Amino acid sequence: MKRYAVIPLALLLVAAMGLTLAGCGKAGAPVAPTVTLNGIFVDKYEALHKDWPTGYDPSRVGFFELAMVFDVTNPNDYPIKLEEARASVDFAVAPDKWVVVNAAAANEYQWIPAKTTNQVRLNVLFTTRAVSLALNLPGAVTLKELGLKTNDVIKQWWTDVPDFKFKIRVSGAMNFTSPNGSVTSTFSEVYPK
């Protein structure tokens, strides 16, 4: 008699497992997570040497490092894995006039639980040499239109970056994977607002 009581219980357990597995299959392709810029912070800073840019001397090269922190919200009902994050960084030389000065990327993955927000940090280093190249090559036309000189712009940025007295635009993409497929989120934001 007890043996017959176990059979309906076993059938009920199999049916419950089947419904659970069927529910997983119906989740569909992932919805792209929302990526928003939480803030930009100066992680490291070295002011320009008082004699900069007279000649090239490593002791006269200034640098600063910015940490860009993003809020990444997973709207899906299942975890999703961040595979790659990349962004280009533009500095404003005048209202609505931008120069691409650097880029950042991270390939460390992280899982973002369902309906949860994680933070992702991208760091990017700026040196006087690299910024000078950005201003003299892709930014040359913009500087010429505005009548600005490379060294004057660099001095201004190095003076103003600790207080964020100029605008920074961050644009890029983050790639995600899950058992239900892959998706990419794009973003473009200006800091400070």
Q: How many domains does the chain have?
A: 1
57: pLDDT strictly greater than 90: no
58: pLDDT strictly greater than 70: no
- Domain range holding 105? 27-191
| 5 is a domain residue | no
Q: Residue 23: what pLDDT? A: 45
Look up the pTM and report it.
Answer: 0.81
pLDDT tens digits for 118-130?
999 999 999 998 9
Q: Residue 189: what pLDDT? A: 97
pLDDT tens digits for 30-43?
999 999 999 999 99
56-to-61, 74, 111, 154 alpha-carbon distances in Å: 8, 48, 45, 15
CATH code, domain with 44:
2.60.40.10
3-state secondary structure of 152: helix
pLDDT tens digits for 156-166?
999 999 999 99
